[in-house]
């Protein structure tokens, strides 16, 4: 994956995230679950904390601080993305950056991240999440996969152009 493809991946991830959140905001009502499949609902919610609502109480009312912290990490991950030598690693960092940017936009625009995907089993619900969270998680899995020595030996080094 060259740099142009990396930038396109970041932009596409951010765009898909923002479009799905816009649809959720216009079609769903907060607190009302819309069943989609067994164990899966669409449920509009807002997260003031980090991933999966962690630090929600600490960061409540401080969206600019949360956006700044996330932004600093995103800059670091962006640098790592452009320096990455292997496609799994570069793709992983691209997904993380695109997802993080999508969530930063929400924090700056409305003070919280829009979440709407609700997985559950019986009475237990996973914290509601969004497309950006999926991209960040998938990106982390790819970065970890790229770190395995067997993967690194078999894959050619990427062209930096």
Angle at 126 between CA 111 and CA 31, to 5 degrees: 55
Q: Of 17, 115, 123, 159, which is the active-site residue?
A: 115
pLDDT for 76-98, tens place per residue?
999 999 999 889 999 999 999 99
The reply to whether 115 belongs to the active site is yes
Q: Count Cβ atoms below 10 Å from residue 97 Cβ, excluding itself.
A: 29
The reply to whether 17 belongs to the active site is no
Query: In the prediction, which pLDDT does 114 show?
Result: 96
Report how far residue 36's alpha carbon sits from residue 2's, in angstroms, rounded to the nearest whole number.
38
pLDDT for 15-47, tens place per residue?
999 999 999 999 999 989 999 999 999 999 998
Instruction: Report whether 17 contacts 132 (CB < 8 A).
Output: yes
Q: Of 17, 106, 118, 133, which is the active-site residue?
A: 133
Query: In the prediction, which pLDDT does 104 show?
Result: 95
Determine the angle formed by the axes of helices 87-110 and 3-27, rounding to 10 degrees.
40
**pLDDT grade for 161, boundaries at 50, 70 and 90:** low
How far does CA 124 lie from the centroid of its chain?
23
Report how far residue 19's alpha carbon sits from residue 154's, in angstroms, rounded to the nearest whole number.
37
The domain spans of the chain are 3-152
């Amino acid at each position: 994956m060259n740099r142009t493809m990396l930038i396109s991946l970041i932009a596409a991830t951010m765009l898909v995230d923002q479009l799905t959140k816009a649809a959720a905001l216009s079609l769903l009502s907060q607190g009302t679950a819309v069943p989609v499949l067994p164990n899966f609902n669409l449920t509009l919610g807002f997260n003031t904390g980090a991933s999966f609502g962690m630090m929600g109480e600490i960061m409540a009312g401080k969206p600019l601080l949360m956006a700044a912290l996330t932004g600093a990490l995103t800059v670091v991950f962006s640098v790592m993305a452009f320096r990455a030598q292997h496609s799994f690693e570069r793709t992983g960092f691209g997904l993380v950056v695109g997802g993080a940017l999508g969530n930063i936009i929400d924090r700056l625009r409305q003070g919280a991240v829009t979440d709407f995907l609700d997985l559950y089993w019986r009475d237990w619900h996973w914290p509601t999440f969004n497309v950006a969270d999926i991209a960040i998680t998938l990106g982390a899995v790819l970065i970890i996969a790229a770190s395995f020595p067997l993967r690194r030996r078999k894959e050619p080094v990427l062209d930096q152009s």
